[in-house]
Amino acid sequence: MSPSQPPAAEKVSKPVPVGIDLGTTYSLIAHLDPQGRPVSIPNGLGEVLTPSAVLFEDDEVVVGRQAVKASMLSPDRFADCFKRDMGRDAYHRPIRGQAVPPEVLSAFVLAQLKHDAERRIGPVQQAVITVPAFFDETRRKATQDAGRLAGLEVLDIINEPTAAALAYGYQQGLVQPGQDGFQGGPRRVLVYDLGGGTFDVTILELDGLQFRALATDGDVRLGGRDFDERLVEHIAEQCRQIHGLDPRADPNDAIQLWLEIQDCKHAISQLSKTPVVCNFGGLRARLEVTRQQFEEMTRDLLDRTETTTKLVVRDAGLDWNQIDTVLLVGGASRMPMVSEMLQRVTGKTPDAATSPDEAVVHGAALYAAMLSRDDHRTEVPACQLINVNSHSLGVVGIEPKTRRRVVKIVIPKNTPLPSRVERSFVTERDDQRNVKVPIVEGESHDPAECIPLGECTVRDLPQGLAKGTAVKVELSYAANGRISVSARVARTRHSAHVELDRHQARQLGDLNTWSSRLRGAEGGGVAVVEDERGPEVNVTDHGSVLRRLDFVFTRVGQAALDKKIPKPAARSKQAALEAGQQLRILERKLQDQQQRRKKASDATESMRLDSTLASVRTAYEQQKRLADFATLLLGRECLQAGFVPKGCEGLKTEADELRTALPA
C-alpha cells in the first residue's frame, strides 16, 4: 500500500476510530476512508512518518521532525528512542532537572498524532495502538497508559505482526465483507518486522477471517538504530584516525552525525557507496561508506535476526516449505541484505508489495474499525485474532534441596490464548499461616531475570498444617492480556483470587501539567503544537552556554566526590556516590554477561544471553546517565554553597563568566 493523503477538506463530525503505530523512531496514524480503505493521515508537515521525538522549549513542546532539527541547539531538552524504556519504572529520562517516565514522552507523541489527525478528519477519541509481539505485559500496560494520558480511549493493544498480516490480507483481497474463507485453504505468513528499535518474527495462519498466531519471538533491544550506531562508530573511528578528533565529543556535532548517518543508511540501500559529511571541532570532512563495509560491520546484528527467524519456525513446528509468504515489515527491513538473507534461509522471495512503513498502522486502522461499533460509514468484516503469549508465565517458589528461589513455568511462551492451567505446589514449613504466590513473566528459572507481575496470597490458614500441604494454583491468561491467579489449600477450603490487569492505569498525572513543568512555565498550556511552518526557534548560543556550564558543574562534582563538603551539598554527594556505586556494579555485571555470551555454545543459549546482555547494557547506559546527572547536580550545589574543590579555581571563574552570559 503506497502512502496516500486524504484531502485536507475531508471532515466528519463523528469521532473516527484510528490505528496508531507508536514506533521507536517513527510513528504513524491511519483511519478508514468512506470506501473502507485504510489511509495514513499526514502530519502538519504533510509527511506520513512523524519522528518519535520530543523537545521542550520554554514556550511550547515540539514533537516530530522539527524537534529533531532543534535538538542540536538544546540536547538537554530533547528525548527520543524512549519506546525501548516503556514499562520499566527505573528508566526515566533526565530533562531540565526532572525524571520523565517513558509513558509521558510517548503520550506527547500520541497527542501530536491525535492533534494532526483531528485537523484532517475531525474528532478522534478511540484508537488501537500497536506494540511489538515480544512486548511483555508491563510494556503493553505502559503503552495503554500513554494512550490514556494523551486523551485517547484505547480500544485494544494489537501486536504489530498481527496488524501487518491483517493489512496484507486486506490488500490481497482476503479480508472482504461476506467472505468466509480463502481459496486454496489456510495460508501461513511469516512476518519479519525489523523496526527502528525493536525486532519481531511471528508466524500467523490466515484461515477465512481468522488470524491465528502460531509462534513469536524477538528482541526489544534490536532495530535499525543499532545498525545506525555501527555506522556512527565507523565514521567516528575514521575521524579519529585521520584527524585525531572524535565528532561525538560535542553534542551538536554528535546529533548532526546521527542525522547524516540515517541519510547514509537509506542511500546505501539504493547505491553501492555514498559520501558522509562529518563535522568536528569547527571542521568538516567528507568520508565515504560502501554497502559492503556497512554489511560487514553489521553482520552480527543481521545474524541475530536470522537465528530468531529459524527458532520461530522450529517453535511453530513447521518446515520452510510450509510457509506460504514471507512479509517484510518495518523501515529497517528495506536494507537489501535483509531480503537476501531471508531468500537464502527460506527459499522464498520476500513480499514487498505491502509498504513496510504503513502495513502495521493500516492493519491497526482496520482492527479499530472492527472494534468500534459506532463507525457505520462502511461494512468491515469482523476478523478473529488469536494470539500466543510472547513470554512464559511462572510461579516463584522455594527449591527444597537448595533452598533457593526458583521459577516454575506454568504457561510456556507461544501458548494459544486464552489459556487456563492448574499446578500443584506445597507449603514450605510446618504451621504455615499464609501462602504467597508470586507471578512472574520470563523464560529464566532465576526470579531475578524475570519480570514480577504481582502476587496472590492465601491468608489466615488454620494452625497445625503440616509441611508439604498441597496448594493448587490456577493461572488464567485471557486473550486481552488479563491474567487471573487463584490459589487454594484443599484441606482447609481457604482460597484467594487476584487479577493482574494491564487495564489498571498507572497514576501519571496529566499531560498539561507535565508540559508546564518541562517548559519551566508556571501555568498550563497547550501540550503539543507543530504546524506547517514548524516551531519558531531562537537561534542563539544560549544552548551552548548551558551545555558548557553543565560540563563545568560535572567537573567540579567529580572533584568533590572524595572531599569533605559543606552540609547543604552533603545529600547530593551521597546521591552521586550511590549512583556511582550502582554504576560500578552494573559495569561488572555487563562484563560478566559479555564473557558468558562469548562462551555460548549453541544458538538457543546465544539468543537467551543476547537478550540478557542487551537488558544489562541498557541498564548500564541508563545508570551512567543518572550518575553523570547526579555528579552535575553535586558540582552545581558545591559552587552555590561557595565550596571550590582544590584545583577547580579556574572552573569556578569560568562558571561565573558563563552565568553572566545567560539572559536575565
Secondary structure of residue 140 in the 3-state scheme: helix
- pLDDT score for 604: 57
Q: Which tens digits make up the pLDDT trace of 176-235?
A: 544 444 444 688 999 999 988 889 999 999 887 788 889 988 887 888 888 988 998 888
**Residue 410, C-beta contacts closer than 8 angstroms, at least 6 positions apart:** 392, 393, 394, 395, 421, 423, 473, 475
Q: What is the pLDDT of residues 111-154, one digit of tens each?
A: 999 999 999 999 999 999 999 888 877 888 889 999 999 999 99
- Cell numbers that stand for 466 in this block: 503440616
pTM of the model: 0.69
Looking at residue 578, its pLDDT comes to: 85
- Specify burial of residue 115 (Cβ count, 10 A radius: 0-12, 13-18, 19+): buried
Q: Dihedral, CA atoms, 473, 477, 478, 483, nearest 10 degrees?
A: 70
475 in the Ramachandran plot: left (φ > 0), alpha (ψ -120 to 50) or beta? beta
Residue 85 half-sphere exposure, CB side, CA atoms within 13 Å? 23
Q: Which of 396, 441, 397, 449 is nearest to 141 (CA)?
A: 441
On whether the CB atoms of residues 231 and 265 are closer than 8 A, the answer is yes
SS3 state of residue 413: coil
Helix, coil or strand: residue 585: helix
Confirm if 86 and 109 have CB atoms less than 8 A apart: no
Residues 6+ apart with CB under 8 A from 551: none
Residue whose C-alpha is closest to residue 283's, from 313, 309, 249: 249
Q: What is the pLDDT of residues 91-113, one digit of tens each?
A: 678 887 788 889 999 999 999 99
Domains of the chain: 224-297 (3.90.640.10), 393-499 (2.60.34.10), 542-661 (no CATH)
Q: In which residue are the cell numbers 561508506 written?
A: 289
Q: Give yes or no for residue 473 having a pLDDT over 70.
A: yes
Encode pLDDT of 53-67 as tens digits. Answer: 999 887 788 999 888
Residues 390, 135 contacting (CB under 8 angstroms): yes
